[in-house]
Structure 1
Amino acid sequence: MLPDLRRRRFRWGLRWTERPSQGTSFPHWSPTEIGPFVQVGARIAGVGACAIPPPEEVPAGHLMGGGTPMTGNTGPRRTFGELERRKSQPAGAVIGWRARYTGPDLKRHSRNFGDKMAAEAWLNAERLLIDRDLWTPPRERARRARLDAQRGITFAEWAERSIAGRPLRASTRYRYEGTLRKRILPELGDIPLRELSRLDVTNWYTKMRAQLAAEARAAHRRGDGRGAAFSAYQVLSSVLNDAVDHELLETSPARVKGALRYDAVHEPVVLTPEQMWTLHELMPDYLAALVPLAATTGLRHGELRALQRQHLDLEDPARAVVHVRGTAANNKVSGRYNEIGEPKTKASKRDVAIPSLVVPILKAHLDKHAQPGDDGFVFVGRKGAVLHASVVESNWQAVAQAGGTGRPAHP
């Protein structure tokens, strides 16, 4: 009977390990493979007891089971998981191995490897975690490992990643990076992100406020640096809130009371009609039309510089309109100082009425100074290029001081 069983092992689904039992030449039978034929500990006629050792006493590769036998392969079988060759198409060459197993969650988990030994090592490691009751799904483990690695970074490293990963305008990104570099990182940059405390943030804010106030006094400025401190705290708070969103921190340590409240030190100056015409007369000819347009429509600095001919509807002076569709920004990162883009908000795209008394001034300006074509810019420099922000700013301040108006609200 026994020789027949051995010859028909694949027919009956019976297999044996490579290690001979002690005291007999008959091989060991796996308890899961003997099945209904032989009870563990029963005696087989003419051979003696099938001594089946517990699994922990069987060296790796000897007690094999699971899966369907492969005809012609009499090697040891795996007791846990499966290995599958990954082949290229259509040549059929082996390009790697896929290891798979069913976890305690009753789901299939797999991973690809370049060689068989690495795949087997992974399966053995997974089985060990299961045996020790330490197993979690591989993807969850990988996610936790990434989080742990990120939690070990410094505040400076995280701040760089946080700013780089946001869809910010070039000018906003440049301002954030400058604030970090100048106001925040010298004090907080080297602190590990997870160790950054409320006390660290409070001490930094207090020190920065005192420093900015001293700088304002030294420069004889009217303010006390609260605006700069407010901007710096906004950037810090934003970066730390981003860390909370990415599960690197449970709560943000940026909780300084009153740090996010700020009122301007002085109110902007609103031009009277007399002041507007005074500045119009003092401004260089190629910029003169900018004064009444800015004063009567309230367009922002960048919006004025981004205006094109197609944005002005001056055919009927009584119904003249300026269509605000873009803004000019200084992208110092790329070196493009007149980058035309979309307005900051949807509400910034708007149509604004132009007073009829300003229409003749604009028409004369278009004939003399603006670029040609519908997409030609309305306000350009002396050489015909798009206005640089500093040109508008310096000329506006100069004529404002000469006209005795202080610094107006616009542009």
Structure 2
Amino acid sequence: MARRKRRAFGQVKTSGRQFEASYPTPVGYGDKFGPLSERQYRRFDTEAAADAWLYQERKLIELDEWSPVSMRKAEARRRREQAVTFGEYAEHWVETRRKPDGSPRASGTIKRNRTMLRRHINPYFGDTPMTEISAKQVRSWIDTTADTMRNELTARHNSFVLLKAIFNTAATEPIDDAGDTLIAKSPAAGYSIPRPEKTHKTVPVTDAQIWRLHDVIRDDYGRPDLAVVPLIGLFEGMRIGEVLALRRCDVLTDTDEISVTASVKDENELDLSKPRHMVRGATKTKDSVRTLPIAPELREALYTYMAEHVPQDPDAPLFRAPRAGGFLAENSFTEVYVKARERVDGMHRCRFHDLRHNLLTRVSGVAGVAVAKRIAGHSDVSVTGGYLDAVGDDVLRRALDGSDGSSSASATAADNTIAGYATTLAQLSPEARAKTLDLLPADVAAKIMAAMIQQI
């Protein structure tokens, strides 16, 4: 057995593949540093390094310059952290940040954050140490981007939200056991950039228009698969990623239902060196997992398409990439959709997401916002309130146009429709209610507000 080396000061023990050096805490430092442990420890890769450390510690004691090892390690860590630039800290933040429930953030969110850092934030803050960024510098960024990003107001708002979140983490999350934070206070605290008003107005879509679009895509572009996608968008109100992630087994023909459990994602979205590979990923939120009844207007077209074009394999994608196979990418659909909508009167500005607005507006007027919320897969009813803006001839105007007394049936329909919307909006928060009313035509909003007053 090898004999333990005798040392005049301290001792060194093996600990796995490392060497643990320790010595008794010197007497007389309790008053200066508070309660201390009985021994001071550090680990090293070699015995020689451990001996060298013990020698240095003994010298510090002899020179009366000693301080607890833990305190020195914390100070060294703080110095390293303080030398970190915003660019370094922000990159780590974006790549490692998680949702409040601890789950990973979506790859699309990470990609957008990377873009905002590269284009709008790092050019201004990137090389500055985190501890040297001042409120004045943040104010300067806000003032500068008010001019340089005047045509990118949404990107400016979102970039500031990201900037503020990064600073908030640095100011609130401890970097050591003592609870110290990287910066004492966020330099962005107290500042805000209002969210710009929505520039795109939801386009109301009639059943006739969506069927015309279906025929254009199927017959003129020769894509019977893509022709069904807008039908699902309008009659089921699903997000485009949810539609493209559907498999044959997700269409429950026995019960006339669609099971929404995934959204199509690019598995290599964050690694541009790899080819695009579309897979079924998580839905936008946990509440987005839902089962929807298939609208009667959709059934025949959907079932006919499946019978003629979708393999019998239960896992077969409903909408298959023509060349690569597997699930279809969103831009492959959008490329055809954008061209086809130009050939349908009144749809040239209609985004696919507008179809979701149309369905939720219809449902809310008939069954109320709670039902619309469930169909949408929203976690908060106030979010659903922002979708009640697709007011068109076939939704509300038709009833209003007949409410002049010329037809008692039309007048009754108008009253019932207005009352339905009044009841729906009454369930929203004041802020969401005001926002929704502002999106509606003035005459329609006035009638709804009058009905709300009568219901009080």
After superposition, the CA RMSD in angstroms is 3.0
- Contact 1:99 1:120 survives alignment (8 Å): no
Structure number with higher strand proportion: 1
Give the CA deviation at 1:97: 6.0
1:212-250 CA distances to partner (integer Å, 9 max, x unpaired)? 32xx4xxxxxxxx22111221122222222222242112
1:179 correspondence with 2:113: no
| AA matched with 1:261 | R
- Contact 2:264 2:329 survives alignment (8 Å): no
Give the CA deviation at 1:181: 0.8
Query: Which of 324, 335, 338 is residue 260 of structure 2 equivalent to?
Result: 324
1:147-170 CA distances to partner (integer Å, 9 max, x unpaired)? 220211211111111112223222
- Contact 2:263 2:281 survives alignment (8 Å): yes
Describe how 1:25-40 pairs up with structure 2 within 5 A. none
Match of 1:306 in 2: 245
SS of residue matched to 1:323: strand
Q: In 2 relative to 1, CA 211–129 (structure 1 residues): closer, same or farther, beyond 3 Å? A: same
Match of 2:157 in 1: 230
Give the CA deviation at 1:192: 1.5
1:249 correspondence with 2:186: no
| AA matched with 1:273 | D
Query: Which of 331, 351, 354 is residue 390 of structure 1 equivalent to?
Result: 331
Query: Which of 142, 146, 165 is residue 77 of structure 2 equivalent to?
Result: 146
| AA matched with 1:102 | T
What is the alpha-carbon distance in structure 2 between the residues aligned to residue 125 and residue 85 of structure 1? 18
Match of 1:99 in 2: 22
What is the alpha-carbon distance in structure 2 between the residues aligned to residue 264 and residue 233 of structure 1? 18
What is the alpha-carbon distance in structure 2 between the residues aligned to residue 161 and residue 96 of structure 1? 32
- Contact 2:12 2:50 survives alignment (8 Å): no
Structure number with higher helix proportion: 2
Q: In 2 relative to 1, CA 131–360 (structure 1 residues): closer, same or farther, beyond 3 Å? A: farther
Match of 1:221 in 2: none
- Contact 2:260 2:290 survives alignment (8 Å): yes
What is the alpha-carbon distance in structure 1 between the residues aligned to residue 201 and residue 120 of structure 2? 26
Q: In 2 relative to 1, CA 113–178 (structure 1 residues): closer, same or farther, beyond 3 Å? A: closer
What is the alpha-carbon distance in structure 1 between the residues aligned to residue 50 and residue 314 of structure 2? 65
| AA matched with 2:92 | R
Moved more, 119-128 or 348-357: 119-128
1:344-375 CA distances to partner (integer Å, 9 max, x unpaired)? 32111111222122111111111223344111
- Contact 2:205 2:355 survives alignment (8 Å): no
What is the alpha-carbon distance in structure 1 between the residues aligned to residue 121 and residue 258 of structure 2? 41
SS of residue matched to 1:264: coil
Return the index of the structure with the highest Cα Rg. Answer: 1
TM-score after normalising by structure 1: 0.69
1:270-317 CA distances to partner (integer Å, 9 max, x unpaired)? 32222222222222322111111111111111111111111111224x
Q: In 2 relative to 1, CA 202–355 (structure 1 residues): closer, same or farther, beyond 3 Å? A: same
What is the alpha-carbon distance in structure 2 between the residues aligned to residue 315 and residue 262 of structure 1? 46
Match of 2:295 in 1: 355
What is the alpha-carbon distance in structure 2 between the residues aligned to residue 160 and residue 96 of structure 1? 35
Give the CA deviation at 1:128: 5.1
- Contact 2:248 2:316 survives alignment (8 Å): yes
What is the alpha-carbon distance in structure 1 between the residues aligned to residue 143 and residue 305 of structure 2? 51
Q: In 2 relative to 1, CA 148–370 (structure 1 residues): closer, same or farther, beyond 3 Å? A: farther
1:115-156 CA distances to partner (integer Å, 9 max, x unpaired)? 555434433443555567765542343233122202112111
Describe how 1:360-371 pairs up with structure 2 within 5 A. 360-371=300-311
| AA matched with 2:291 | D
What is the alpha-carbon distance in structure 2 between the residues aligned to residue 329 and residue 135 of structure 1? 57
Gaps of 5+ in 1: 1-71, 90-94, 217-224
Q: In 2 relative to 1, CA 367–140 (structure 1 residues): closer, same or farther, beyond 3 Å? A: farther
Match of 1:268 in 2: 202
Q: In 2 relative to 1, CA 401–258 (structure 1 residues): closer, same or farther, beyond 3 Å? A: farther
Moved more, 375-384 or 356-365: 375-384
1:296 correspondence with 2:235: yes
Q: In 2 relative to 1, CA 392–116 (structure 1 residues): closer, same or farther, beyond 3 Å? A: closer
| AA matched with 2:343 | A
Query: Which of 140, 157, 161 is residue 203 of structure 1 equivalent to?
Result: 140
Give the CA deviation at 1:107: 2.9
Match of 1:346 in 2: 286
- Contact 1:369 1:379 survives alignment (8 Å): no
Give the CA deviation at 1:174: 1.4
| AA matched with 2:163 | L
1:407 correspondence with 2:330: no
% same residue? 26
What is the alpha-carbon distance in structure 1 between the residues aligned to residue 46 and residue 339 of structure 2? 74
SS of residue matched to 1:289: helix
1:82 correspondence with 2:10: yes
- Contact 1:83 1:100 survives alignment (8 Å): yes
Gaps of 5+ in 2: 31-35, 98-103, 176-180, 218-222, 357-456
What is the alpha-carbon distance in structure 1 between the residues aligned to residue 186 and residue 239 of structure 2? 34
Q: In 2 relative to 1, CA 195–401 (structure 1 residues): closer, same or farther, beyond 3 Å? A: same
Match of 1:194 in 2: 131
- Contact 2:226 2:319 survives alignment (8 Å): yes
TM-score after normalising by structure 2: 0.63
- Contact 1:83 1:119 survives alignment (8 Å): no
Q: Which runs of 4+ in 1 moved over 4 A?
A: 114-117, 127-136
What is the alpha-carbon distance in structure 2 between the residues aligned to residue 85 and residue 257 of structure 1? 55
